[in-house]
A and B are shown apart, each in its own frame.
Chain A
Amino acid sequence: MSLRLLKKALLRLGFWSLIGVLLLYAVFPFYYAIVTSLKPSSALFEVSYWIENPDFANYAAVLHQASFLRAIGNSLVVALCVVTLALFLSVTAAYALGRVKFRGRGTVLMMVLGVSMFPQVAVLSGLFEVIRALGLYNTSWALILSYTIFTLPFTVWVLTTFMGQLPHELEEAAIMDGASPWVTLTRVLLPLLWPALVTTGLLAFIAAWNEFLFALTFTLTDTQRTVPVAIALISGGSSHELPWGLLMAASVLVTVPLVILVLIFQRRIVSGLTAGALKG
């Protein structure tokens, strides 16, 4: 075999083994979590990578806890509210920032970017005081408010970029047809933006769903907790025992829907962006 062919084969091999390593790194923990959740508690500390007899006892135990189901409900409500609120505010903000040339636009955009770099921990104590002053402590609204605040910079930035890319003539055609800014936004521009809305909405949903720090700090009782905190507080039979099986089962229950959502919408996002919806 010539040297060039050999080199090519080696490069191919290197490429695919790199892919393999990355795949393993990303997927293995999740895979192992599923495997662990399907083991009976006695077999937990045996290291095995394949399940002979899947045992759904852990899942049954998790789902029977009313507080856990409540936590899932809370998380869902919070995440959905955050997405709706963030998208509504971002779309209207993006319309102004992306389409209207006003003095100070650049400054506002820079401020939005700057604010998004804030570490959550730094803001925690200050935000806590605000939440308490508003009387929102230990309610879902505390979380909805805080998550929206932290999601907005990202969504505004992404949507502003997308808005700026829509052709100007489309808007002018709408003006000639007699459309007010609100009509232009909702009936002309929004239908063209939906791939961007799906992307940002999904990412906002995931961020709100997975958030732990604020959820731990701003909620007190079991009825108000969200899922990440609920999982962290799962305790076993004695204080020295961590119920790994239960933990894994809960984690899988909570993560799998997200993974499925992303897999579904991932295709939509790609096809939406390449469909040439902006021609003409």
Chain B
Amino acid sequence: MIKLKLDNVNKQLGGMRILRDVSLEIAAGEFVVFVGPSGCGKSTLLRLIAGLESICGGDMLIDGRRVNDLEPRERGVGMVFQSYALYPHMSVYDNISFGLKLAKTEKSSLRERVLKTAQILQLDKLLQRKPKELSGGQRQRVAMGRAMAREPDILLFDEPLSNLDASLRVQMRNEIARLHDRLGSTMIYVTHDQVEAMTLADKIVVLNGGRVEQIGSPRELYERPASRFVAGFLGSPRMNFLAARLHTPGTISLVDTPILGMTSLPFDSTNLAAGTALSLGIRPEHISLNAAQGTGGIVVTSVEYLGSETYVHLETGQDEPLICRCEVSAGWRAGDRVELQLEIDNLHLFDHDGTALARQSQASDNSPNDISLHPVRARAL
């Protein structure tokens, strides 16, 4: 059942287009995360859904009815603000019950609902305190309680964890995930942190410059990104991008890269002209290193030790080094010469405008699963 549907929603402020033709559907009970860099419009989109900003074009439907012109309280949404925005002069109990009081809820049922909400969020001992007597995490929970008390259809979170320190953030992240499991309500969560997005979401919406880049599950977005932007946004350290050129277009492409040399890759490039600039993408964990024979191979410039793994930086002649994830036991050191092996299944090819090329399924059993890299034509390394 579709809970929220956005149909070509547009928003402009003072002549600037903040959101362009945003369309998406959210099912009941889903946890959806809007993620993207600063200024991409994700907070504006959330506020549009909340009703704090007006929609300039397009339609928004909640449970099938058009809500463009409805007030926030009429839409059945609750919002948790980034800075919590608790009423400073009211106790925790009054903060949570404020919305219910305004909705003229009957007194005994009001008390019951507030107590139930407080219990779920472990606030029952703190009901008489004022916000300034609470810690950051407690204030967070009061803000959630206030949004939840009226049992809204959709719960909105506007970067709720960005004001907390790192350890508290991890703890609160788990609590929000458990809350979702317990309540089963539809939740929309805005963040710029891709780790929060990956761990919490049933569905991720990646936004960039006011447009939707891709919508899908965390796995879909990570393993099959539709654009170079999405590929580079999710995953830390970032996916490696190598400059390449299309030699021969076709259902299997012949691609030329400075390091790889000329290779045929299972991507469909029939729409493109020969000589088009492409980007080859490969994630650090999908590269394996072997010691190079003789004086061939690529030089290791530095090694980052993280305890559980190491990140080996390789000199490729491009602006940024190639980063490869290795086991600690491999023992690579700066100055070593290595050969690369890339997993074809996890290789990505992007057009010059960032669109991912369609992947072809394996044509035959003879096709290699890995590609070994050695600089056939060593250009200015």
Contacts and interface: CB of A to CB of B under 8 A. Distances in A.
Contact of A173 (B51, B71, B81, B103): B81
Contacts of A183: 102
B84 A177 contact: no
B146 A192 contact: no
A252 interface: no
Nearest to B142: A280
A178 B39 CA distance: 28
A178 B73 contact: yes
A177 B88 contact: no
A115 to B, nearest CB: 31
Contacts of B99: 176-178
A188 B88 CA distance: 9
Contact of A177 (B52, B102, B139): B102
A175 interface: yes
B235 to A, nearest CB: 32
A8 interface: no
Contact of A278 (B73, B84, B88, B147): B88
B146 A280 contact: no
Interface residues of B, number: 29
B89 interface: yes
A43 to B, nearest CB: 55
B258 interface: no
Number of contact residues on A: which range applies? 20 to 34
B81 A169 contact: yes
Contacts, number: 70
A277 interface: yes
A261 B277 CA distance: 79
A179 interface: yes
B225 interface: no
Nearest to B152: A176
A11 interface: no
A277 B90 CA distance: 11
A34 B52 CA distance: 60
A170 interface: yes
Contacts of A167: 83, 85
B347 interface: no
A181 to B, nearest CB: 12
Among B82, B87, B146, residue most surrounded by chain A Cβ atoms (within 10 Å):
B87
Interface in B313-366: none
Interface string B132-154: 10100001000000110010000
Contacts of B102: 177-179, 183
A107 B242 CA distance: 57
Given A178-B73, A178-B103, A280-B139, A173 B87 contact: yes
B45 to A, nearest CB: 16
A177 B149 CA distance: 10
Contacts of A177: 73, 98-99, 102, 146, 150
A188 B95 CA distance: 11
B231 interface: no
Given A173-B146, A183-B102, A279 B132 contact: yes
Contacts of B85: 167, 169-170, 172-173, 280
B316 to A, nearest CB: 47
Given A177-B73, A177-B102, A191 B78 contact: no
B154 to A, nearest CB: 12
Interface in B32-79: 50-52, 71-73, 77-79
A20 interface: no
B78 A192 contact: no
B4 interface: no
A276 interface: yes
A257 to B, nearest CB: 30
B160 interface: no
B234 interface: no
A260 B72 CA distance: 48
Contacts of B72: 175-176, 178
Contacts of A191: 89
B230 interface: no
Contacts of B198: none
Contacts of B79: 172-173, 176
A191 B91 CA distance: 13
A280 B86 contact: yes
B77 A176 contact: yes
B131 interface: yes
Nearest to A180: B102
Contacts of A277: 88-89, 132
A28 B88 CA distance: 44
Contacts of B131: 279-280
For the complex of A and B, the 3 pairs showing the least CB-CB separation, nearest first, are: A178-B73, A177-B99, A169-B85
Given A175-B52, A176-B147, 9 more contacts: A170-B87, A172-B81, A172-B85, A173-B87, A178-B72, A178-B99, A191-B89, A276-B132, A279-B132
24 contacts: A167-B85, A169-B82, A169-B85, A170-B87, A172-B52, A172-B79, A172-B85, A173-B81, A173-B146, A174-B98, A176-B147, A177-B146, A178-B71, A178-B102, A179-B102, A183-B102, A191-B89, A192-B88, A192-B89, A276-B132, A277-B88, A279-B88, A279-B132, A280-B88
